[in-house]
Structure 1
Amino acid sequence: MRLIAKHEWFGGEIWWHSFPVGESPSQVFVACSDLFLWGCADLEPLTPDNIALLDEAAGELTAIDDCYGPEWAPRLFCCRTRKMRPQGAYYKYIPDQFRDKFDACGPERQPTFGDPQSAAQAIEARQGGNGKAGAVHESAVPEGNAP
């Protein structure tokens, strides 16, 4: 709870589940829905073994930008824990100053059905490069369902 207060995570990034007394101990999670696959509800367990990684991510991003760093730290924690970059389509939401931190989490991902854009396509669409924000990569459309 001290870590939540330290970084002011009150916007829904940290979740917990309590069980009745005498049953399993409470569990804490970091929300990462849509971060790895589009349209997917997802949580990453926060444990005594990985809580320092969350604090480290918060410290790094806050040093870059003290306004948005704490907001993006839970997502960076999830990527580092899974050793995986966000799905390409999610890159349009990641502030430019944090992108290299997310890139370092794993290899570049190729578009698939649950990850419809490459990071470059999402960033270009966000910047108005091709005017096709939300365009789906052809490899993401199941065979026989082409428009």
Structure 2
Amino acid sequence: MTDHEFLVEVLTIFAKAESHDTLLWWAKGDSIELWANVSDIFDWGSADAEAITPDRLPILQQALADLIEAGSTAWLAELYAARIRGMRPQGAAYPAAPGVQALLNACGPARATGLGNPKPIPEPAP
């Protein structure tokens, strides 16, 4: 896959998810670096992003497919990063959608509340 094909694929995935605001990029010389913006998702009050690289592209593609099946693509950046990190988001950043909660719960063990995770996971929506 060429750099151009990779860039087009990532842009297409975020467009399908209608999640344009969670894609960060930086032009560096002749290349473009891409990240999923997950600020305040894993730790309270933090700026954070997860790199999107060609070797991680299958994880991003699968995250979109799983979210489409769950009925909510808005959590693309969060699910992608959670799978890369093997970690659930903090409770305050958790969605109420049961299908998305199940996907995030599968990413890692439950987190204790405290500094960086001040709230428990919300009850799933009916």
TM-score by length of 2: 0.81
Between 1 and 2, higher relative CO (CA 8 Å, sep ≥ 6) is seen in: 2
1:13 to 16, 22, 26: 22
1:18-57 per-position Cα deviation (integer Å, ceiling 9, x unaligned)? 0245xxx321101001110111110000011111100101
What residue ranges of structure 1 are gaps of 5+ in the alignment?
A: 128-147
What residue ranges of structure 2 are gaps of 5+ in the alignment?
A: 1-7
1:2 to 1, 5, 9: 9
Pick closer, same or farther for the CA change 1:107–1:19 going to 2, 3 Å. Answer: same
Contact 1:89 1:116 in 2 (8 A): yes
Q: CA RMSD in A?
A: 2.0
| Partner in structure 2 of residue 113 of structure 1 | 115
Pick closer, same or farther for the CA change 1:4–1:78 going to 2, 3 Å. Answer: same
Structure of larger gyration radius = 1
| Partner in structure 2 of residue 61 of structure 1 | 67
Of all paired residues, the percent bearing the same amino acid is 29
Distance 1:87 1:6 in 2: 25
- How much does 1:14 deviate? 1.1
Distance 1:98 1:76 in 2: 9
Pick closer, same or farther for the CA change 1:60–1:80 going to 2, 3 Å. Answer: same
User: Would you say 1:84 and 2:91 are equivalent positions?
Assistant: no
Q: How many residues align?
A: 116
- How much does 1:94 deviate? 4.2
- How much does 1:88 deviate? 1.8
TM-score by length of 1: 0.70
Aligned pairs (5 A) from 1:1-147: 1-8=8-15, 9-21=18-30, 25-65=31-71, 68-69=72-73, 71-91=74-94, 93-119=95-121, 123-124=122-123
Match of 1:116, SS state, is coil
Matching residue's letter, 2:120: S
